[in-house]
Amino acid sequence: MELKHTPLFEIYRDTAGVQLAEFHGWELPIHFASGIIPEHHGVRTSAGLFDVSHMGEILVDGEQAEGYLQQLLTTSVTAIKSGEICYTLMCYQNGGVVDDLMVYKISDTRYLLVVNAGNIDKDVDWIMRDNPIAQSGAPMPDIRNQSDAWAQLALQGPKSEELLAQLVPEVRDIPFFTFRDDLLLQDMPLLISRSGYTGEDGFEIYLNAEDAPDMWRLLAELPGVQPCGLGARDTLRLEAKLPLYGHEISESITPLEANLGTFVDLDKHYFVGREALVKQQQQGIPRSLRGVEMIDSGFPRDGYRVVLDGRDIGYVTSGTKSPTLGSFIALVLIDRGTGLKFGDELHIDIRGKLKAARLVRTPFYKKQTGRN
Partner 1 sequence: MSEIRDDVRYTENHEWVQLDGTTAKVGITDYAQDSLGEIVYVELPEVEDQFSQGDEVASIESVKAAAPVYAPMGGRIVRVNKKLEDSPELLNEAPFKNPIYTLEVDDPDEYAELMDSDAYADFLKERE
Near partner 1 by CB under 8 A: residue from 70, 156, 320, 338: 320
Q: Which is nearer to partner 1, 28 or 253 (CB)?
A: 28
User: C-alpha distances in angstroms, 356 versus 279, 313, 318?
Assistant: 35, 14, 17
Strand ranges in the chain using DSSP code E only, listed in sequence order:
19-23, 26-31, 47-51, 56-61, 85-91, 97-107, 110-115, 142-145, 150-156, 179-185, 188-194, 202-208, 225-228, 287-294, 305-308, 311-321, 328-335, 345-350, 353-360
231 part of the interface to partner 1, by CB under 8 A: yes
**Of positions 42, 141, 196, 298, contacts partner 1 by CB under 8 A:** 298
- Given the rule CB under 8 A, which of 55-63, 142-150, 178-186, 291-299 is the region that contacts partner 1? 291-299
Min. distance of Cβ 26 from partner 1 in angstroms? Answer: 16
Between 37 and 295, name the residue whose CB sits nearer to partner 1: 37
Q: Considering the complex, what minimum distance in angstroms separates the CB of residue 353 from partner 1?
A: 8
Residue choice 9, 104, 328, 365 for contact with partner 1 (CB under 8 A): 328
Among 87, 177, 263, 299, binds partner 1 (CB under 8 A): 299
CA distance 359 to 181: 43
Pick from 36, 191, 316, 357 the residue near partner 1 by CB under 8 A: 36
136 CB-contact burial (10 Å; exposed 0-12 / middle 13-18 / buried 19+): exposed
Q: How far is the CB of 351 from partner 1 (least distance, A)?
A: 7
Q: Find the part of the chain contacting partner 1 (CB under 8 A) among 34-42, 48-56, 118-126, 339-347.
A: 34-42
* C-alpha closest to that of 82 among 111, 124, 59: 111
CA atoms within 13 A on the CB side of 114: 24
Cβ-based neighbour number of residue 103 at 10 Å = 19
Binding residues for partner 1 (CB under 8 A): 19, 21, 30-31, 35-37, 231, 235, 297-299, 301, 320-321, 328, 351
